[in-house]
């Protein structure tokens, strides 16, 4: 069992930056590929970024490419999402996710509880 706890969400003006963190419980964090999803009101949950077990491979949705960076620290059981040049359309609840296999699309084994990101214009 893996528990994921996100933090770092909040309210920011357009053009600003936020860094989300997701801390995982357990000693098997490096055995999971990790991803960040988001869900805006009335929309489906979408994958925005993915990182492989050791961090050697990453994936980004076209809508965030060049603005968001996913990274991980396996010694700290933490995955990050650095979000720069934020836009109002980035407003959503952001979820951390874990998958035993490194693949896109992800088949999520564990979800975090979500953290709200609101970008004002």
pLDDT the model gives residue 58: 98
pLDDT the model gives residue 1: 84
pLDDT the model gives residue 27: 76
Q: What is the mean pLDDT of residues 79-92?
A: 98
Q: What is the mean pLDDT of residues 82-97?
A: 98
Quick check: 68 and 88 in contact, CB under 8 A? no
Q: What is the mean pLDDT of residues 76-80?
A: 97
In tens, the pLDDT along 20-44 reads: 999 999 779 999 999 999 999 999 9
Give all strands (DSSP E) within the chain, no chain letters.
4-7, 10-13, 18-24, 33-39, 46-51, 58-60, 68-73, 78-83, 92-99, 110-111, 115-120
Q: pLDDT tier at 95 (50, 70, 90 boundaries)?
A: very high
Checking if the pLDDT of 118 tops 90, the result is: yes
Rounded to whole angstroms, the Cα distance separating 113 from 87 reads: 23
Question: Percent of the chain at pLDDT above 70?
Answer: 100
* Two structure tokens written together for 83: 């979000």
Rounded to whole angstroms, the Cα distance separating 34 from 109 reads: 10
Checking if the pLDDT of 3 tops 80, the result is: yes
**Residue partners of 85: CB distance under 8 A and separation at least 6:** 15, 17, 67
Q: Is 67 exposed, middle or buried (0-12, 13-18, 19+ CB in 10 A)?
A: middle
Quick check: 22 and 32 in contact, CB under 8 A? no
């Amino acid at each position: 069992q893996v528990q994921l706890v996100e933090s770092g969400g909040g309210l920011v003006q357009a053009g600003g930056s936020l860094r989300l963190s997701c801390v995982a419980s357990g000693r098997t964090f490096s055995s999971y590929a990790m991803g960040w999803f988001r869900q805006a009101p009335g929309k489906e949950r979408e994958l925005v970024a993915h990182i492989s077990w050791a961090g050697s491979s990453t994936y980004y949705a076209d809508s965030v490419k060049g603005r968001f960076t996913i990274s991980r620290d396996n010694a700290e059981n933490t995955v990050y999402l650095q979000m720069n040049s934020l836009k109002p359309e980035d407003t959503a609840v952001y979820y951390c996710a874990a998958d035993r296999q490194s693949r896109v699309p992800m088949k999520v084994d564990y979800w975090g509880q979500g953290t709200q990101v609101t970008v004002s214009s």
